Structure 1
Amino acid sequence: MRFRSLLLFAALTATLAPSLSFAQEAGERRAPAQQSSAREGMLKLLPADSVTEHELTTAGGRKIAYTATAGTLDLFGQDGVQNAAIFYTAYVAKDAGPSRPITFAFNGGPGAASAFLHLGLVGPKVLDFGPDGRDGANSKLIDNKNSWLDFTDLVLIDPIGTGWSRTVKADDASNYYNVSTDAQTMAKAIALYIAHNNRANSPKYLLGESYGGFRAAKVASSLQESQGIIIAGIVMLSPLLEGQLMFNADQFALGAALEFPSLAAAEADRRKGFSESIQRDAERFALGEYLTTLAGAAPTGDAATAFYGKISNLTGIPQDVVTRNRGFLGYAFTKHSGDKSGEVMSPYDASFATPDPYPESDSDRGDDPILDGFARAYGGAFADYARNELGFKTEMTYTLLENDISRRWEWGSGRGGGSRFQASATDDIRQILASNPSFHLLIAHGYSDLVTPYGVSRYVVDHLPPSLAGNRVSLKLYRGGHMFYTTAGQRAAFTADAKTFYAEHPAGPPAD
């Protein structure tokens, strides 16, 4: 099963009443920021920054007047020649005071644009996929009463090769497709925005989803080391933290044990029997009998029957499949979970089933029902929103998800060096906690996410030295998968927890 750690996805339910009013829907615009007049290549298709005025009504009934900017940040080489432009969207509350936090957000992939977080969670608009939460063809933008603009200004950034972020020369884009350069580029873009908008004194936060969580740790380190900018906190959503624990679940006992609770949660959800107490029992089994049995010699006789039967009962995977795999489940669940035949499950939410396009095959051959299904609507929805409501009109295609970036990504130092199995953000987290006593970290996961299982993040958090973590690192869990926030109730719950996180750990004087 391919790895595309992006940001994705569960089921979006509920219909929200309209709450946004736009002060300039007739097309009135403020004067755009100055733009480079010597752009070349694809960058010629990028218009000047567009600035518009709006008003948001939150779930609590509070009205927030804010400015939206859809624009680009120019990047230059040592020779002074422009080599790239980074697209961003900023939402800044009016008259909020200099100590209001500002959050820089990005998705993962590698190769994903920020539209997922933008229209799925934090922005003033959210994409509704209908009553069943999966109708991409009839999805529509509705007002987001739970926008994070309630408690922080927002800057959503698209990495090179995604969204409308491009290099002058197409062949140069691959120079940005590696862990180090990507982090440095994102740090430079953040530093440019801060300088251009006089936000040096604002508490600064990062929000990253999936690979974006991994990216956030690297960007925070780069900001501190190369830009002299200290981050107040990071919110990691379904993050990749330790590749060696995530990508070996079908081979090594510890990886399988850390993945197991997510399989159990998905089966409980499918049977409508999920409870936190039952989930805790599954977690104890995973790190107890399951781990020690997988780590030792294969059980035989009655012991094997009982052991594999318990795994089957907890995960919904047929006992013969469990036995054949010796308890290492990997992606066996995609075709072998639940009571219904002819369905396939998504690793982005193992409780999410759709009709199997290849029922005659015993292995998964089709597109992912979430990542390649309804979630693709985020791209077209954002392009339309940016053009018609934010005033950013371009003929360039908005690239929501570029799979080629993920395939070409360089995980280690030097071309071809390292691999995703060696990817680690733990050292970055430890160093930031050690060097910045004000830094706080919130990690959020969906229970039934098999792309980035929550058990891996819990393992990392549990093994941080108490002298570093203390009360500065927290892990929150929610019903759903990799993009659990596409469900209205879980989105509201996560937003409430994030608001508490910002309020409990202010980096500076109280906001006005």
Structure 2
Amino acid sequence: MKKYLFFIVAFLIAISSFSQEEKAEAKWIPRDPQKFESSHSGTFNGQKITFKSIVGETFLKNSKGEVTGAMWSTSYVREGVDSSRRPVMFVFNGGPGSASVWLHMGFFGPKVVKIDTEAKQDDGVAPYRFVENNQALLDLTDLVFIDPIGTGFSQIEGIGKTSDFWGLNEDAASIAQFMRIWVTQNGRWQAPKFLAGESFGTTRAAKVAEVLEGGGQNMALNGIILISQALDYAGSSSWADNLTSFFTYLPSQAVTAWYHGKAGQGKTIEAFAKEARDFAYSEYLPSLFLGEKQTQAQKEATAERLAYFTGLDKKYILQSENQILMHRFKKELLRAEGKAIGTLDGRFLALETDKSSEGPMLGDPSDYMTSAAYTAVFNDYLMRDLKVKMDRPYLSSASGMGGSWNWKPVPEGAYYEPSYVSTARSLSEVMHRNTQLQVMVANGYYDLITPFFDAEFTFARHDFPQDRIQMTYYEAGHMMYNRQEDFDALAKDVRKFLEGMLK
């Protein structure tokens, strides 16, 4: 009897739930999009520029014209110029589930936050350093920072559901729709157009570039900037049995060990990185695929070489079958000192509460030693500088998105077998159809989540047109702009990349 009562109660709850959703849909009343505008000025690349900031929402619609979501963005638009052919760059971060606050406040915005450039100190407590960014690109291009649905102030509206947006294909379609609306409303169809994405934002950028070719409104991009690329997840997923990842992560482990004084001493980072690359291709890759077909002597020879590059104990490497998972490396490298290193940036380290754990216990020090500064500065900046008044919080990351994300690259209902996510082929094919598209790939040597060697491995395959791919390297991690020397170098490289296409 209890069993039947349970099903009856569950059924009634389900009915109530559906009716509430219907009421919620009925309650949505068409309205004008919210918008907050303010005027500013600054000096960028030596030019005094006046510009307008627009923080506002754009309503996204389904094929029937029904509103499904409100996507918020922050646009910086130069004033006093003919905007019809003025370049525009669309910027987003990754996750999935991250707002654009990191690239906005860390690198591209007219003002940026500053943390310890040498990654030795925690960001601490407020007040934080917030400075004018004289290297911002507003002399060259307008900037549009996009917050995907579920992040920032962006949210479901009308008849929308999270499943309409929280997926590889769904996300790209929503960003592409936003871009077309923005370009139309601002009269920029004849303007050069650029994308800049970081981490999953690079996965997204490749897919968005593909989606923009369809839909009856083909929008060709001039250039894409990939910061800490993640186009093919086989090379950036350090999981057991994923042989590709052991290969792609090794050079990052080597240069990180070099940084902490555990390997490669007396050599430059470039020389040691090259040595690790050569070993990975010529010796380590065959060893990984030979597996148990190797003799014990062969295994020991490989372990000895891995110890040379990673700074780890040879016995530990042999116990690990010559396959060092990244979360173990982050703990093992400085275990004797009771420290664990960062994921986003291997320069960061922190004392651990549990010195015997397999991997870091406190989380990622390169995340928790920087995120408070970004969050506090941006929230203050929204209110004081951009004059935004909202009755709900700006979410730098989406709650619950990760577990609800649809990674399938095929339409709903189509046959699919699980595989590593990859949008590399999509971008390659876009570049073959759009023969003017240029791509810049910015890599951090100490990035232990999207390794620089994986970028090289990815772009050496998939039939990418090599003459239109530009690789750059920096002595920091995932967010290389957190190190001032690399902020300056990246700003110079991005500017040169853009100027080469805007001649």
| Aligned twin of 1:461 | 459
Deviation of residue 367 (structure 1)? 2.1
| Aligned twin of 1:268 | 258
SS at match of 2:428: helix
Partner letter of residue 256 of structure 1? F
Partner letter of residue 242 of structure 1? D
Q: 2:206 and 2:26 mapped to 1: Cα distance?
A: 32
The alignment status of 1:202 with 2:191, answered yes or no, reads: yes
Deviation of residue 171 (structure 1)? 7.8
The alignment status of 1:148 with 2:137, answered yes or no, reads: yes
| Aligned twin of 1:137 | 125
Candidates 228, 239, 242, aligned match of 2:229: 239
Deviation of residue 462 (structure 1)? 1.5
- Indicate if the aligned counterparts of 1:267 and 1:314 stay in contact, CA closer than 8 A: yes
| Aligned twin of 1:314 | 309
| Aligned twin of 2:376 | 380
Deviation of residue 302 (structure 1)? 5.3
Q: Deviations over 1:151-206 (max 9, x none)?
A: 22100000000011011269822331111111110001111111111111110011
Where does 1:3-402 land on structure 2 (aligned, <5 Å)? Answer: 48-58=34-44, 60-97=45-82, 98-130=84-116, 133=119, 134-138=122-126, 139-168=128-157, 172-226=161-215, 227-247=217-237, 250-271=240-261, 274-298=268-292, 303-331=298-326, 332-338=328-334, 340-402=336-398
Q: Deviations over 1:224-283 (max 9, x none)?
A: 212321111111111211123332554243331111111111111222865211211111
Q: Deviations over 1:289-308 (max 9, x none)?
A: 12122222455555544432
Q: 1:453 to 1:229 in 2, by over 3 A?
A: same
- Indicate if the aligned counterparts of 2:234 and 2:244 stay in contact, CA closer than 8 A: no
Q: TM-score, normalised by structure 2?
A: 0.86
Q: Deviations over 1:21-64 (max 9, x none)?
A: xxxxxxxxxxxxxxxxx9967999x9831221111223x43322
- Range 118-127 or range 428-437, more displaced: 428-437
Highest relative contact order (Cα 8 Å, sep 6+), 1 or 2? 1
Q: 2:295 and 2:28 mapped to 1: Cα distance?
A: 65
Identity of aligned residues (%): 27
The alignment status of 1:504 with 2:490, answered yes or no, reads: no
Q: 1:376 and 1:47 mapped to 2: Cα distance?
A: 30
Deviation of residue 403 (structure 1)? 5.1
The alignment status of 1:493 with 2:467, answered yes or no, reads: no
Q: TM-score, normalised by structure 1?
A: 0.84
Partner letter of residue 219 of structure 2? I
Partner letter of residue 135 of structure 1? D
SS at match of 1:174: helix
SS at match of 2:161: helix
Gaps of 5+ in 2: 1-24
- Indicate if the aligned counterparts of 1:42 and 1:167 stay in contact, CA closer than 8 A: no
- Indicate if the aligned counterparts of 2:299 and 2:322 stay in contact, CA closer than 8 A: no
Gaps of 5+ in 1: 1-37
Q: Deviations over 1:85-119 (max 9, x none)?
A: 11100112234444332100111100000000000
Partner letter of residue 200 of structure 2? Y
SS at match of 1:393: coil
Deviation of residue 373 (structure 1)? 4.0
Q: 1:381 to 1:490 in 2, by over 3 A?
A: same
- Indicate if the aligned counterparts of 2:226 and 2:440 stay in contact, CA closer than 8 A: yes
- Indicate if the aligned counterparts of 1:318 and 1:337 stay in contact, CA closer than 8 A: no
| Aligned twin of 1:442 | 440
Give the number of equivalent residue pairs.
Answer: 466
Deviation of residue 69 (structure 1)? 1.1
Q: Which has the greater radius of gyration?
A: 2
Q: 1:125 and 1:193 mapped to 2: Cα distance?
A: 23
Q: Deviations over 1:322-379 (max 9, x none)?
A: 1111111112212101375211122212232111133242333332222344224323
Partner letter of residue 68 of structure 1? S
CA RMSD, Structure 1 to Structure 2 (Å)? 2.7
Q: Deviations over 1:408-446 (max 9, x none)?
A: 111103389868842111221121111111111111111
| Aligned twin of 2:449 | 451
Q: 1:175 to 1:376 in 2, by over 3 A?
A: farther
